[in-house]
Amino acid sequence: MGDYSLPEDRARAVTIPALVLDGGASFGFMGPTADALAELIPDAQRRTLEGQQHNVDPAVLAPALKEFLAS
């Protein structure tokens, strides 16, 4: 986490598809941070898991992962 800045060069260098998630009930900065990260990663998909905080319910996470991995 360091100084809380996004590692922009590292994010741009990601060469595989990525899924950037946040929880809709997480701290307010998480959504905008996830948005910014998804914009930087060349082949990123972005989702918010509504009603979830940092400790995501596996029953909510699993369908999102399944959908991403099937695409």
pLDDT for 2: 77
pTM of the model: 0.88
* Site of tokens 């899924």: 19
CA 15 from chain centre, in angstroms, equals: 16
Q: What's the mean pLDDT in 37-66?
A: 97
Q: Is the pLDDT of residue 1 over 70?
A: no
What count of residues does the chain have? 71
Average pLDDT, the chain: 95
Q: Which two tokens stand for residue 41?
A: 């990663």
pLDDT per position as a tens digit, 22-38: 999 999 999 999 999 99
How would residue 9 be classed by pLDDT, with cut points 50, 70 and 90? Answer: very high
Would you say 10 and 39 are in contact if contact means Cβ atoms under 8 Å apart? no
